[in-house]
Amino acid sequence: MNETPKPNSFRSGPDEDGRFGIFGGRFVAETLMPLILDLQGEWEKAKNDPAFQSELAELGKHYIGRPSPLYFAERLTEHLGGAKIYFKREELNHTGSHKINNCIGQILLAKRMGKTRIIAETGAGQHGVASATVAARFGFPCVVYMGATDVERQAPNVFRMKLLGAQVVPVSSGNGTLKDAMNEALRDWVTNVDDTYYLIGTAAGPHPYPELVRDFQSVIGKEAREQILEAEGKLPDLVVAAVGGGSNAIGIFHPFLDDDGVQIVGVEAGGRGLQGVEHCASITAGAPGVLHGNRTYLLQDHDGQILEGHSISAGLDYPGIGPEHSWLHDIGRVQYVPIMDQEALDAFQLLTRLEGIIPALEPSHALAEVIKRAASMRKDQIIVMNLSGRGDKDIFTVAKILGMDM
Amino acid sequence: MTARMDARFAALKAEGRPALVTYFMGGDPDFETSLGIMKALPEAGSDIIELGMPFSDPMADGPVIQMAGQRALAAGQTLAKTLELAREFRKTDNDTPIVMMGYYNPIYVHGVDKFLDDALAAGIDGLIVVDLPPEMDDELCIPALEKGINFIRLATPTTDDKRLPAVLKNTSGFVYYVSMNGITGSALPDPSLVSGAVNRIKSHTDLPVCVGFGVKTAEHARAIGAAADGVVVGSAIVAQVAGSLTKDGKAGPDTVASVATLVRGLATGVRAARLVAAE
């Protein structure tokens, strides 16, 4: 798998079978094959349809609040004493994270396809909230599958989804986290093939999901690239983002992939350390396998049984990663590194005090990596980090760890 | 087709009745008990055995088969041990075809070539791998056919006439018609719809068509068997195993016997299918 030849462009994937090198593909039950072929056909038409693109842009501007700012973090930069640090402020989007970019795009597809019911899976609840939001905005009934463990630890988001009119179904099979929620969403889809649109939240799953989620999220990187050129007159030296399934990361990475001088780093959840099984570092500590419709790096045992990971951040608590990331790792274009729970927690607190921004625990992982690297970089060098979500949802988790009563 | 699969369908044709295809989960509730179940199946009237390979994330299965897989994995079942079940079974039965059924990842991690060699050596006749549609034939289907192992494909109500030829192209052994959209263990479909669907598939292929999903009783088996070349029973058998376990999930005194009783009943239904259909 390390013999993939270097392509002319890193941005041309996937091929027509949905492959990025050996990764990706369409590993689904026969019942679902006609559905994902339909989706692929509709997506091909939509992406070349000016009316679709303009509706997407309008909603992006007036409903989501795009473009999101590229913010120079002056005090953090001073504090670390090295490279200039910029944040792509996706946490300022409607619903508080990058997830809405993809949801708006996919709900427009669902509408085009004449579907009348939306299903989604969620881990931290950010994608569930974004799905429930667009379902409310477009008048679709919406069912969100969420692991029972996550329902408990993300109670505020569960309430938000219910307020928005979605039905939240707790999934207690397995360990009751994101992967189990995804299994259950797939079971729903296989049962309700005629009227249901499955709104996948991350750049994973069977083709064409990794491609279309990436394309909807690439607005992040496109804007960031223009904004940094305007602010600094040059491209950044380093782009950093956290990776669970990897949609915020591929969204900011993709437009920079062919820029030779830009180093790109994806940050995985190192949890309590990589020695045992209490982490979610699929690339750093996993192996290629097949799950949820695609081949990618997975946390698994020697028998090919999928392991449950652990992360302080529910949004990174998934034993796989989008297939394009697996490919970018294998060909060496993007470097993937782990950050531990404690490092993320320290970064969370530092940013809150220095910049007055409470980040979500997911981008706090990216931030911890930025903190590690910035000081040893020159002052004329530039880092762009995707601040993919805000931390309001995480204050209960953090309070508990810090021993505070709320 | 392998010789065993050929011979079995030829014999059934001569008898003028559909096949009873029985699924059970390898290693549920433990290796020895599931071997006992496997050995009891042919004697109780099963014509073809589907040997379930447990997987941690069975995306197309309902709660009954999910839980069976979890019990098997908790008891230490692995793909290597599931192959060992087949090897042990073959020591006393060299006639009943065995089809392994499950998901791709454990096979992929085992290594496709090694798996196929091990499966041949264990006396496996066919594979049903739920998450490998025809678009993914290069992964396992083509290598399996080259080694002489049947690759049995699922056809579903969403498989329309346009798609059916692609689905049937590299299918061998038999076609498994999943009689409704949904997960395993769902309710029984309308037998008249099933008969229409079977005829539609038969207009595209000479392979036997076996029908599954929702068959629980002898009467179901008779009704579905009247319209098909075979009746697949899965969740009902797995549920019988689950119902026979002790409170702490261990094999009960009647686990093997109660499965055999259920299968004997289903076999009666299958044997009555064509008699009624002929009336």
Tokens of A268: 């995985």
- Name which of B56, B158, B183 is nearest A193 (Cβ-Cβ): B158
0.90 surpassed by complex ipTM: yes
Rounded distance between C-alpha atoms, residue A233 and residue A228, angstroms: 7
Tokens of B29: 């509730």
Return the pLDDT at A5. 56
Query: CA of B102: which chain A residue's CA is closest?
Result: A29
Q: For residue B101, which amino acid is it?
A: M
pLDDT over 50 (residue A1): no
Higher per-residue confidence, A289 vs B223: A289
- Name which of A26, A34, A306 is nearest B136 (Cβ-Cβ): A26
Q: Under 8 Å CB-to-CB from B68, ≥6 apart: which residues?
A: B25, B28, B52, B54, B238, B241, B242
Beta strands in chain B (DSSP E): 19-25, 48-52, 98-102, 126-129, 150-151, 154-155, 175-178, 209-212, 230-233
Tokens of B99: 């089809």
Tokens of B96: 């009943």
Residue A292 near residue A319, CB atoms below 8 Å: no
- Domains along chain B with CATH numbers: 3-278 (3.20.20.70)
Q: What is the fold of A65-97+219-401? A: Rossmann fold (3.40.50)
Among candidate residues B106, B135, B99, the one with its CA nearest the CA of residue B24: B99
Return the pLDDT at A6. 65
* Sheet (strand A84-89) strand order: A70-72, A84-89, A382-387, A238-242, A263-271, A334-340
Residue B224 near residue B215, CB atoms below 8 Å: yes
Tokens of B183: 């997960």
Ranges in chain A annotated CATH 3.40.50.1100: 19-58+99-213, 65-97+219-401
Interface check for B170 against chain A (CB to CB < 8 A): the answer is no
Angle between helices B79-90 and B31-44 (to 10 degrees): 40
Residue B178 near residue B202, CB atoms below 8 Å: no
pLDDT over 70 (residue A61): yes
Q: How far B139 CA lies from chain A's nearest CA (Å)?
A: 10
A289 class by beta-carbon count within 10 Å (0-12 exposed, 13-18 middle, 19+ buried): buried
User: What 3-state class would DSSP assign to A233?
Assistant: coil
Task: Give which of A23, A26, A31 to mutate to test B binding, by max B Cβ within 10 Å.
Answer: A31
Q: Is the pTM of this model over 0.90?
A: yes
pLDDT over 80 (residue B251): yes
**pLDDT tens for each residue of A158-181:** 999 999 999 999 999 877 888 999
Q: How far B179 CA lies from chain A's nearest CA (Å)?
A: 11
Q: What is the fold of A19-58+99-213? A: Rossmann fold (3.40.50)
Q: How far B136 CA lies from chain A's nearest CA (Å)?
A: 7
**pLDDT tens for each residue of B86-140:** 999 999 999 999 999 999 999 999 999 999 999 999 999 999 999 999 999 999 9
Residue A144 near residue A155, CB atoms below 8 Å: no
- Cross-strand bridge partners of residue A390: A359
Query: CA of B133: which chain A residue's CA is closest?
Result: A30
The count of other CB atoms within 10 Å of the CB of residue A293 is: 27
Average confidence score pLDDT of chain A: 95
Q: For residue A251, which amino acid is it?
A: G
Is A306 within 8 Å of B105 when comparing Cβ atoms? yes
Q: For residue B154, which amino acid is it?
A: L
Output the CA–CA distances (angstroms, integers) from residue A254 to A168, A215, A216, B188, B233, in the order listed. 33, 9, 11, 48, 48
Q: Average the pLDDT over A375-389 and give the result.
A: 98
User: What's the helix, strand, coil split of chain A in %, to 5?
Assistant: 45, 20, 35
pLDDT over 90 (residue A271): yes
Catalytic machinery residues of A: 99, 121, 388
- Cross-strand bridge partners of residue A297: A288
Rounded distance between C-alpha atoms, residue A306 and residue A326, angstroms: 17
Q: Average the pLDDT over A249-278 and give the result.
A: 95
Among candidate residues B178, B157, B171, the one with its CA nearest the CA of residue B205: B171
Which residues 211-230 of chain B have a CB within 8 Å of chain A? none
Least confident of A114-123, A134-143, A270-279, B7-16: A270-279
pLDDT over 50 (residue B279): no
**pLDDT tens for each residue of B144-180:** 999 999 999 999 988 989 999 999 999 999 999 988 8
Task: Give which of B55, B109, B179 to mutate to test A binding, by max A Cβ within 10 Å.
Answer: B109
Output the CA–CA distances (angstroms, integers) from residue B113 to A38, B2, B119, B141, in the order listed. 33, 18, 10, 12
**pLDDT tens for each residue of B112-126:** 999 999 999 999 999
Output the CA–CA distances (angstroms, integers) from residue B101 to A34, A224, B84, B126, B140, in the order listed. 22, 48, 15, 9, 13
User: What 3-state class would DSSP assign to A266?
Assistant: strand
Q: Average the pLDDT over A321-342 and give the result.
A: 97
Q: How far B56 CA lies from chain A's nearest CA (Å)?
A: 5
- Name which of B59, B60, B106 is nearest A303 (Cβ-Cβ): B106
